[in-house]
A and B are shown apart, each in its own frame.
Chain A
């Protein structure tokens, strides 16, 4: 069937596979952003975590020979960036959106600076699980080659939803995010909870970055991350601050981003560069459709006034 009609079915399968591949970094970054925003703070600097994670993960994987060590280091790099972000934001009169932009510029520059030696070498890739082994179709097999990190992300999303709903610490994060005053009255150290939430979010975003360099596209170069970190912010709004919806939203965005390459793979090359804009247009469209002048977003943490 698939071989008989490589046209539209091929595109569909390629988009599906692409949704999983391209969507995985979105998933991790949006889960990270979700965690940070639930504590009432926005981190626009996750782009930096993503690209620094990609660079450090690739570098460490190359030097140590272990891709998983690379993932861990990428996460830890994200923790450090989250720490800087949180410490800056808790100062008086410091705007967290502006800090995010500054972190983005700083992290990008730093990643390019430190990553210069790693552009050439080849690091070990993350292993993948071949769910398509039963099929004869190479297209289908390629599409169903699912990376282990994606599986981790799929498990993590409901786990995080459970965390926010039932775990003591999850409730703590939500309290701080809903009302700073109520949290203060309860004797909670608001800044510390936000610090941990930002660091945790940074970890996830860093791991998402390592996926970029260690699996897909699977090498380190300076054009690796192109706004996914900031799109994650829009994605979290779209997902209504619900980690499980973050998973669906990531797949949707990944699919949109995979559209151009998928069409190209079946020979439709016209407008390839225009299709590159698909995820951005989709994000903007969703933002326009779901925002409202009159009311706040459903599910939005009370302390988030900026979005």
Chain B
């Protein structure tokens, strides 16, 4: 009970503090902070229209957050979500384009599976390098992001480019029939369902199975895990593979549900924002869902802020950065809030 209250109370307090810091920042740059915050709220959750915008952005965030959250449970700080998303989306597009003409259901499944496998292997490589060569995973994952982006630029601006796309260089289309559509009448695509299902499934795996227990044990004390006979290397690689596979779906969605082709917007910062979501959710796949919706909302309000206040689109980046820093600083509060202590004693 004490743990639960603490793990809700501290992030909420940290969020409020970040909003305060952000308000001061906005006031210093000469805008009305309350109005800006109200606009962020309206742009994120004010109407059905903004809810749709928010959920569309939350879907890839749920998936990219898993790229950091799962490896974090086993003790790795992986920031390779951006690259994994690019690799998954790019490979799915190759499959989608080359299978064009076959039954849409087959093409869609093939794209999703390809995206998951390729991105999964991409991130598994980071885990393998860490385990077998002790290569720092944070650095290798960042380097792989840039390598993935370079490969994407090469392919999309070169061999895969559809000459008809002049202003926004893109690959050939995967075909209208093969696109993953929207849910009912809304403008929310099925990617949201993918995000929710994957988060819940991985939560179950991580918290309710012996595999998840082994992962948490390795993350807590790798020596103890080795001594108890766990195959630490295998655990690390499987965890990283799952993280990458989840993120690969985000890339597939970007290609198959949003654009219908692969273009440079595969690299639009969802991977990096996912790191923040993961830390904010304290690497719990279930908590990722509300946090991703919150962050999706902040991203969705960016346009409204630009139009309403003439604030740069980087404003929401600043807000995200402040939240991240305050959340990390709040880590040192766990177990140290005095007036919560008596509860711990009472409830054990």
Contacts and interface: CB of A to CB of B under 8 A. Distances in A.
Interface stretch (B128-136, B214-222, B250-258): B128-136
B314 A99 contact: no
A280 B151 contact: no
A146 interface: no
Contact of A106 (B135, B325, B334): B325
Most A-side CB within 10 Å, residue of B133, B314, B336: B314
Looking at chain B's contact residues, is the secondary structure mostly helix, strand, loop, or mixed?
Answer: helix
Contact of B151 (A113, A277, A293, A307): A277
Nearest to A100: B138
Given A99-B325, A113-B317, A273-B158, A93 B150 contact: no
Contacts of B139: 230-231, 233-234, 283, 287
A291 B329 CA distance: 31
B287 interface: no
A95 B328 CA distance: 8
B134 A227 contact: no
B133 A288 contact: yes
Classify chain A's interface size. 35 or more
Contact of B321 (A95, A106, A307): A106
Contacts of A288: 129, 133, 135
A97 B131 CA distance: 18
Interface stretch (B48-56, B92-100, B271-279): B271-279
A109 B317 contact: yes
B211 interface: no
B332 A93 contact: yes
B25 to A, nearest CB: 9
Contacts of A284: 135, 140, 143-144, 147
A284 B80 CA distance: 14
Interface string B327-339: 1110110101000
Given A101-B275, A274-B150, A280-B143, A44 B317 contact: no
A116 B312 contact: yes
B134 A105 contact: no
A108 B157 CA distance: 26
Given A274-B150, A287-B136, A94 B332 contact: yes
A103 B325 contact: yes
A181 to B, nearest CB: 21
Contacts of A93: 331-332, 334
Interface in B121-156: 129, 131-136, 138-140, 142-147, 150-151, 153-154
Given A44-B138, A230-B142, A280-B147, A94 B321 contact: no
B292 interface: no
B237 to A, nearest CB: 14
Contact of A281 (B129, B138, B147, B331): B147
A231 B139 CA distance: 7
B235 interface: no
A280 B153 CA distance: 15
Interface in A100-125: 101-103, 105-110, 112-113, 116
B322 interface: yes
A292 interface: yes
Nearest to B318: A109
B320 interface: yes
A88 interface: yes
Contact of A293 (B132, B147, B313, B331): B132
Contacts of B320: 105, 109
Contacts of A230: 138-139, 142-143
Complex A-B, nearest 6 residue pairs according to Cβ-Cβ distance, in ascending order: A106-B321, A109-B317, A112-B314, A277-B150, A273-B153, A273-B154
